[in-house]
Structure 1
């Protein structure tokens, strides 16, 4: 399963996201549409971390590339105004899927999320940072694996 961070501009946020997702061996981090310092400095630093750990890191220009390039059958964009859904239902199953977390710095256009499910996991409190959300996902995936 993939966990994606959409449009980060902060180097620190990008690196913390990647390190958090790497805490679970079942998850692969994806960075979508980074810009500013995150694109210039953060992406090379994140690749250095991934190389040292021997883990994959995927960088994509658009949300739709999750389906086109990675072959994801289900793409869930986590938005506080999205339809309520259980986190367990999001992370269970064997089909390829991605949970996309907004960096909070730039939201996708309606066209960009046209073929995604806009949802919010009912167990996650609203107002959390993207890193905290990623941490909860890592915890639940790890808990389900054991």
Structure 2
């Protein structure tokens, strides 16, 4: 069976509260690594130290990088999913995850980065083109970036759990 590694990425935020909330969500759902990119202002001064404390408490990793191209260059994901509310387009997450499962059933590894915008209204058009645009099933309206991250990461964690019951090897992080 295939091996799946999922890496949540929070991109472009100045909110220390958002950084801490997304870290709590990611680590609480069992992801081993959280990546923060383009973090500035209070998010850099207060949010990163808070996320680092959470990472240490959960025995997890926190990676801070300057921008999305650096995330792609250094982490080399096979697949990049950019999560947005449904009103901004993209395919349903469950549909994309089913396709990923079908493409990697021969035992090869798949590293999946899931990118969330950290600022309101979210990601720029250029940033949305970094990967495949997806939205969590049933989320059409803008529920905020923390809400999109929570629902998306929960659905991906549930998908990974189902894969484990079928014998796939999964890792939620790097």
Place the TM-score, normalised by the shorter chain, in its bin.
Answer: 0.7 to 0.9
1:50 to 32, 50, 55: 55
Give 1 or 2: higher helix fraction: 2
Which SS does the other structure have where 2:154 is aligned? helix
- Residue 75 of structure 2: aligned partner: 70
| Conservation of the 8 A alpha-carbon contact between 2:15 and 2:43 | yes
Question: CA 1:88–1:51 in 2, change beyond 3 Å: closer, same or farther?
Answer: farther
Question: CA 1:142–1:122 in 2, change beyond 3 Å: closer, same or farther?
Answer: closer
| Conservation of the 8 A alpha-carbon contact between 2:136 and 2:148 | no
Which SS does the other structure have where 2:141 is aligned? coil
TM-score using structure 1 length: 0.83
1:8 to 7, 13, 36: 13
Alignment of 1:45-124 (within 5 A): 45-80=50-85, 81-87=88-94, 89-90=96-97, 93=101, 94-105=109-120, 108-124=123-139
Question: CA 1:62–1:29 in 2, change beyond 3 Å: closer, same or farther?
Answer: same
TM-score using structure 2 length: 0.71
| Conservation of the 8 A alpha-carbon contact between 2:14 and 2:119 | no
**Count of equivalent residues:** 146
- Measured after TM superposition, the shift of residue 104 of structure 1 is 2.8
Give ranges in structure 1 of 5+ residues lacking alignment: none
Between 6-15 and 75-84, the greater mean CA deviation after superposition: 75-84
Q: Which fold has the larger relative contact order, with Cα–Cα distance below 8 Å and residues 6 or more apart in sequence? A: 2
CA RMSD of the aligned region, Å?
2.4
Give ranges in structure 2 of 5+ residues lacking alignment: 1-5, 102-108, 163-174
- Residue 28 of structure 1: aligned partner: 33
Select the structure of larger CA radius of gyration: 2
